[in-house]
Amino acid sequence: MFFASDNWAGAHPAINERLLRESARFASAYGSSELDRTIERRFNEIFEREVAVFFVATGTAANSLALASVARPGGVVFAHTEAHVIEDECGAPDFFSGMRMVPVDGPLGKMTPQALEAKIARYPQDAVHHGRAAAITMTQATEVGSVYTLDEIDTLSSIAKVHGLPLHMDGARFANALVALETTPAEMTWKRGVDILSFGGTKNGCWCAEAIVFFDPAMAKELPFIRKRTAQLFSKSRFIAAQFEAYLKDGLWLELAGHANTMADRVREGLAASNSARLAWPTQSNEIFAIVRKEAAAIAEEKGAKFYDWLQPRDMPETVAGDEMLIRLVSSFATSSDDVDAFLKAIT
Ligand SMILES: Cc1ncc(COP(=O)(O)O)c(C=O)c1O
C-alpha cells in the first residue's frame, strides 16, 4: 500500500537487467560512449526531430540547468505558485540560473493566461530595479495531478512567443501526461512551442535517469559547460543511457505510465464510492488528492498504508472540515490492483 510517491517504487526489471549487462563491460567515459550517442539519437526518433539531449541525475538538476541555459542577468522565470521549482527545489533553479522564480496563480496547478500576462507585465525588459522577464516554466503533468491540454499549452506558448521568452516544461511525469492525453511526445512539446523539456524517467521505472531535451540544438550550446560546472556530468553517464535504452525500448515507458494511470483511475473510482473519503479535485495523471476523515486515515496508516498529508492549495474547490484532512496518493508502475483494493478497504 505504497502511495506516498512514485519515487518510492523500485526500478523495473528490464531496466535492472540492462544495468546489469552494462556493468559487465568497459566503455569510454563522460558521455562519449557509443551507447550515450545511440540513446541521444533515440530521443530524435521519440521526438520526431533532431534534439540535443543531456543526461543528468535528478529532476531538480534538469530543471535548474535547463533554466540556467536561458539565464539573463536580472532575469525572472514565471512558474505556477505550486511549481516544484518554487516549492520543492530549495532554490536550486534560482541558485544555478541566477534568476528569480516568480509565482503565477491558477486553479488546478495550471497558470492561467491572464495571471501569466499580468505577471509578465510587471517585469518589462528595461525594469532594472524589478528584474526582467526571461523564461516561463510549466509542469506537465502538474504537481497537483492535472494535465495541461494541448490547447492550454498552445496558449502559454503563444504568450511566451509574443514576449520573446523561452518555454520550459518540467516533465518529471511527462509519460503520465502523455498517456493521459493520448498524444505524442512531439505534439505535447515542440509542436506546441515548448523549447526545453526536463524529461523524467526516475518516477516511472528507472533507477536514476533524467534528461534535458532542447528542441533547437542551437539553444544548447552552453549546456555542456553548465552541466560540468554544476557537477552533473557523470563519468559513467552510460549507465543513465542504459536505463533510457530499456525504458524507451518497445514503448516500455508508455506501458509503465499507462499502468500507473490505470491504477490511479482505480483509486479514484474507489474513493468516489467511499463514505470516509472524497476526491479533493479532479486529476488525470497518477496523482490523486483526497479529503479523508482523520480517523479513517489513521486506521489506514495503522494497517500499513503510506501516503502524505498535503497542505491545502489556496484555490482548493472543496473545504476540509475539522475532522478531515487532505492527503496525496500517487500510483506508480509498481502499484498492483491488490495494493489499490487493500488501500480502499483500509480507508473505507
Ligand atoms: C513536478 C516535479 N518536478 C521535478 C521533480 C524532481 O525531483 P528530484 O530532484 O527529486 O528528482 C519532482 C519530484 O518530486 C516533481 O514532482
Which DSSP state fits 84?
H
pLDDT band at 348 (very low <50, low <70, confident <90, very high): confident
Q: Are 6 and 204 in contact (CB under 8 A)?
A: yes
Domain end, chosen from 250, 265, 280, is at 250
> Same domain, yes or no, for 246 and 259?
no
pLDDT score recorded for residue 314: 79
Q: Determine, yes or no, domain membership for 7.
A: no
pLDDT band at 318 (very low <50, low <70, confident <90, very high): confident
Q: Determine, yes or no, domain membership for 279.
A: yes
pLDDT score recorded for residue 127: 85
64 close to ligand 1 (CB < 6 Angstrom): no
Q: Cell 523500485: give the residue.
A: 10
| Cα of 169 from ligand 1 centre, angstroms | 12
> Same domain, yes or no, for 107 and 20?
yes
What total of structural domains would you count in the chain? 2
H-type helices in the chain, by residue range?
13-22, 34-47, 59-68, 84-87, 92-97, 113-121, 150-162, 174-181, 223-229, 238-248, 252-272, 294-302, 337-347
Q: Determine, yes or no, domain membership for 37.
A: yes
Per-residue cell: 3: 502511495
82 close to ligand 1 (CB < 6 Angstrom): no
Domain end, chosen from 250, 280, 312, is at 250
Q: Which of 6, 53, 96 is nearest to 248 (CA)?
A: 53
57 residue type, one letter: A
58 close to ligand 1 (CB < 6 Angstrom): yes
Determine the Cα–Cα distance for residues 142 and 177; give it in Å rounded to an integer: 9
> Same domain, yes or no, for 127 and 167?
yes
Q: Determine, yes or no, domain membership for 104.
A: yes
Beta-carbon contacts of residue 147 (< 8 Å; ≥ 6 apart): 140, 141, 177, 180, 181, 284, 285
* In the predicted structure, residue 17 carries a pLDDT above the cut 90: yes
| Cα of 116 from ligand 1 centre, angstroms | 23
> Same domain, yes or no, for 86 and 214?
yes
287 close to ligand 1 (CB < 6 Angstrom): no
139 close to ligand 1 (CB < 6 Angstrom): yes
pLDDT score recorded for residue 317: 76
> Same domain, yes or no, for 143 and 216?
yes
* 161 SS3 class: helix
Per-residue cell: 239: 549507465
Beta-carbon contacts of residue 145 (< 8 Å; ≥ 6 apart): 109, 264, 281, 283, 284, 285, 286, 287, 288, 289
183 close to ligand 1 (CB < 6 Angstrom): no
Determine the Cα–Cα distance for residues 84 and 89; give it in Å rounded to an integer: 6
pLDDT score recorded for residue 254: 98
Mean pLDDT computed over 199-221: 98
Determine the Cα–Cα distance for residues 156 and 77; give it in Å rounded to an integer: 14
> Of 5, 170, 173, 212, which is best to mutate to test ligand 1, by the most ligand atoms within 8 angstroms of its C-beta?
170
**The domain that contains 276 carries what CATH number?**
3.90.1150.10
Q: What is the extent of the structural domain holding 272?
A: 253-347
59 close to ligand 1 (CB < 6 Angstrom): yes
> Same domain, yes or no, for 291 and 275?
yes
Q: Determine, yes or no, domain membership for 6.
A: no
276 close to ligand 1 (CB < 6 Angstrom): no
> Rounded to whole angstroms, what are the CA distances from 214 to 52, 54, 186, 196?
5, 9, 12, 5
SS3 for 252-299 is HHHHHHHHHHHHHHHHHHHHHCCCCEEECCCCCCCEEEEEEEHHHHHH
pLDDT band at 319 (very low <50, low <70, confident <90, very high): confident
Q: Determine, yes or no, domain membership for 283.
A: yes
Q: Determine, yes or no, domain membership for 191.
A: yes
31-54 pLDDT, tens digit per residue, is 999 999 999 999 999 999 999 999
Domain end, chosen from 189, 220, 250, is at 250
> Of 64, 88, 207, which is best to mutate to test ligand 1, by the most ligand atoms within 8 angstroms of its C-beta?
88
**The domain that contains 198 carries what CATH number?**
3.40.640.10
Q: Cell 568497459: give the residue.
A: 26
> Same domain, yes or no, for 179 and 320?
no
Residue 147 exposure: Cα atoms within 13 Å on the Cβ side: 21
> Same domain, yes or no, for 243 and 261?
no
> Same domain, yes or no, for 107 and 228?
yes
97 close to ligand 1 (CB < 6 Angstrom): no
Determine the Cα–Cα distance for residues 204 and 132; give it in Å rounded to an integer: 36
| Cα of 241 from ligand 1 centre, angstroms | 19
Atom in ligand 1 nearest the alpha carbon of residue 202: 11
Q: Which of 288, 221, 292, 256 is nearest to 12 (CA)?
A: 256
> Same domain, yes or no, for 97 and 198?
yes
Q: Determine, yes or no, domain membership for 2.
A: no
Q: Are 120 and 130 in contact (CB under 8 A)?
A: no
> Same domain, yes or no, for 154 and 222?
yes
> Same domain, yes or no, for 227 and 337?
no
